[in-house]
Structure 1
């Protein structure tokens, strides 16, 4: 009888051990599953944050960031074709044409060329604005001076860079497939994620710059600097006004447009 009792106790002990091991394995499996969920969640958050950063980094124009110039400092306009009531000229007025001229700044003269063969709508707009003396007295209000991101943005009527919300047009034209904008490029500023968010403003690239496309695409390259790029590089070399952050702000010496002529 004593032997049987010992056997029963040993059997119960083994059963308890088996149950404990089974519970431990179950808990370990739950922990691994929870850890996997956490890892997947963290990775998803990281991806989402990266996408959001890329799409919003330009909500206020090009900046030092690798994601910079996607915005060009304009308020977002509705993503719709331009209205004729805005006075947007027809692309036909520039189709196949090349316009040459000068952008006279208070710090020097820059020779420019606009290419209506690859960007007829943009060339038509800027030819029309130049002919109407729109740019006389306008500002080049924004400068970026990062190592791999350099541009001067022009065409604003006020220091805050605001543009006329009722003057917007598109579509995008001649956007670089590789997102690279060589020194001397003249491109159209626009609101983010909006192929019809172009306005009055443009930017001049003074050193090779990478500008990632946003949801709408890249930025319309309308022309190039033909002479006087050193005028822009000297403005950049002088630096930014106090209070600028991330190598992005107003030029230390105010830059204004004396005239913009095209023929």
Structure 2
């Protein structure tokens, strides 16, 4: 082999190695640039996502008023779903006992003429809702004499989260004979709640706003209510808290 050929071949090999090193170095630079770009984009994406989440969180963070409204709506929804269907009492005669201050009053609810009311009060009684509740109102004037019970807190306040309707079996002439058990309500026919009243004497109640549902009657023990009424109203008026505190010991229906 000639010396000149050997020299040329060596030169070409060196050049090839140099070009290979340069190509490898360039590839490394491309990779670093690509990796940096990806990392930057990923970082930007994470930052953007964090900002977006922060904006979403704060923009959707409710105020105390919003939370109260949402809670009330939820309670109303739960209460509405808790109202028993009138079919549960339709066509039935439901009997039971109301115990006031240890004295028994026999009662009967009319599921034929007042199925919704009968179903509601049977459900409330079955859950022991009335046990320990006070009868907060007594009227002794003419033409109405009733004892009203069933307020959740014993003050006579209604429960806005538990309302139902409509008015059933309301007498056109406003006559509520002694022993009548009727449902108290608010201003409208769909504002019944957990309160009821018992007429201890023949009473006439205005029907101007739609009347009141007669859901049943006293079958025994009317004298218990008459004795409570005889003690009068606590402040000496004809409409207010009874002089003798009245507590529902139990209310059972079957």
State the match for 2:229 in structure 1: 236
Aligned-residue offset at 1:149 = 1.2
State the match for 1:99 in structure 2: 94
State the match for 1:149 in structure 2: 144
SS in 2 for 1:152: strand
Query: How is 1:36-55 mapped onto 2 (pairs within 5 angstroms)?
Result: none
User: Structure 2: any 5+ residue segments left out of the alignment?
Assistant: 1-75
2:172–2:207 CA contact under 8 A, matched in 1: no
State the match for 1:123 in structure 2: 118
1:220 is matched with which residue: 205, 213, 219? 213
- Structure 1 residues 83 and 221: CA distance shift in structure 2, 3 A: farther
State the match for 2:247 in structure 1: 256
Deviations 1:55-80 (CA, angstroms, capped at 9, x unpaired): xxxxxxxxxxxxxxxxxxxxxxxxxx
Aligned-residue offset at 1:199 = 0.4
Deviations 1:199-228 (CA, angstroms, capped at 9, x unpaired): 00000001111111133x110000000000
Aligned-residue offset at 1:159 = 3.7
Q: Equivalents in 2 of 1:105, 1:180: separation in Å?
A: 25
- 1:197 aligned onto 2:188: no
2:143–2:205 CA contact under 8 A, matched in 1: no
State the match for 2:68 in structure 1: none
TM-score normalised by structure 2 residue count:
0.68
Aligned-residue offset at 1:107 = 4.7
Query: How is 1:77-116 mapped onto 2 (pairs within 5 angstroms)?
Result: 85-86=79-80, 87-116=82-111
Q: Equivalents in 1 of 2:102, 2:79: separation in Å?
A: 35
TM-score normalised by structure 1 residue count:
0.65
Aligned-residue offset at 1:163 = 2.3
State the match for 1:56 in structure 2: none
- 1:211 aligned onto 2:202: no
Question: Alpha carbon RMSD of aligned pairs, Å?
Answer: 1.4
- 1:139 aligned onto 2:134: yes
SS in 2 for 1:258: strand
Deviations 1:104-143 (CA, angstroms, capped at 9, x unpaired): 1115110000000000000000000000000000111100
SS in 1 for 2:140: strand
Deviations 1:65-104 (CA, angstroms, capped at 9, x unpaired): xxxxxxxxxxxxxxxxx96643100001001011000001
Larger Rg: 2
1:169–1:199 CA contact under 8 A, matched in 2: yes
SS in 2 for 1:149: coil
2:164–2:191 CA contact under 8 A, matched in 1: yes
1:148–1:207 CA contact under 8 A, matched in 2: no
Q: Equivalents in 1 of 2:168, 2:151: separation in Å?
A: 22
2:106–2:218 CA contact under 8 A, matched in 1: yes
